[in-house]
Chains A and B, each alone.
Chain A
């Protein structure tokens, strides 16, 4: 049951999007987000949508996965939508009922915001769907490494993420095992009020923490034995190379971004 959780939601493939350098992909995603946020009108937003659709189509990711990633944020969209609808009071009044007034601007803002959030999520999902967590960690380490000058722990953060990725499946399996063991001893995890069920989790969490600490100690020892001493003087086996398709992707994305900026200036609809 808990084993079904896939962290990072990566779907292996060999499409153009999959093959992009993870650092470049990270950068392009940021550019895409900027596109969505600087767009003043629906036309600008449309340019962003066209960009994502193109990327999505070339990635070979199924549409159902995209809708799945949007589902959890529907309440957020509804909430912000309703707020915008009621609290934007400029523009022509469409409906007036008691103190509630729905204006044209309010309706427009609601739709605009909803579209923006949905495509924001789709864009970032596309990044995690097409990039393995390991490649992503690697990219984050390399993108952040210049910040080491100001003592930002780029390597340490990446190492924490790597170890987390390695141990999440192990700890999930362990949780399953402990749960079964406690059930065998008569622990009741399924009935009672929310509070009672929360309390019933204590006998699962304590052994899990004890075991996690023990593992951490073992792991630290094993890392030390293999000469780990932080990020200084460390080399990497896999060298990332920015190739032709990466520059091409950057050029295309820049064009789209420029398009949004131009639309903002000349046609802010």
Chain B
């Protein structure tokens, strides 16, 4: 792990615009403005922002779905604008999208997980091995012969993650993977993500759920196409007012500690998990 310090994803002064045609007039909508971000190998970064903040656009720059108008994006030293490295980049950075239904291609779970490997021409016996491995990693091995449409949302999303995982990517970018799931499904996905991260997979989690962001090791808050905060979860959520001004919520625990603090209760403001809060309150009331 001597390359832990080397930055793995390097986003340099990137701007990106969508162009729309309205009444014959070409309209430019600049969604990312001169954004720079670097992510190290093995990090678990959450990118937080409300709808239209540019967070999904940023995610799509990380595996060359979108190419920056200005600036450069490097993945493990590869320029995403370099078309000859396209498949290498996509193998390195896997993408998981919001709607699990729309990213599963095959009508059998294991066939879907094999899809990416079949595309990159892996040997059949090796595909079998890696498909089983990926399905076991997300806890869906028993469902390998099921039809995807009969699974729950969380299970489907785990199959989608396995489909990406089978490529053995070094990084997985998840674009609001829990937005369409019920609370149980959300918990399943967060558990899976954390397990993958502990195995050394770099995670970039795009979300607008605060409690999910609080589980990351680093939180990047993006607003109006610009990075406004970039810190540990504690560092970010202790600035509750700034977060709320951007139209985002803070975790309920943070809300509570700040309210108590304002009333003069001596609590640490960097409490973000329920357990921490419980312990702090317990100490206080003892």
Contacts and interface: CB of A to CB of B under 8 A. Distances in A.
A221 B102 CA distance: 9
B91 A219 contact: no
Interface string B151-171: 000000000100110010000
Interface string A207-250: 00000000100110111111111000111111100000000000
Interface residues of B, number: 40
B119 A169 contact: no
B102 A239 contact: no
Given A234-B119, A236-B124, A237-B114, A223 B107 contact: no
Pick the most buried of B115, B116, B167: most chain A CB atoms within 10 A of its CB: B115
A218 B107 contact: no
B94 interface: yes
A262 interface: no
A238 B122 CA distance: 12
Contact of B128 (A166, A215, A224, A237): A237
A81 interface: no
A225 B123 CA distance: 20
B107 A165 contact: yes
B275 to A, nearest CB: 36
A178 interface: no
Interface string B71-89: 0000000000000000100
B91 A237 contact: no
Shortest beta-carbon contacts, A-B, top 6: A222-B103, A218-B102, A226-B116, A237-B114, A237-B127, A225-B95
Given A166-B107, A222-B97, 6 more contacts: A218-B99, A223-B105, A225-B63, A225-B95, A236-B118, A236-B124
Interface of B: 63, 65, 87, 90-91, 94-95, 97, 99, 101-108, 110-111, 114-124, 127-128, 131, 147-149, 160, 163-164, 167
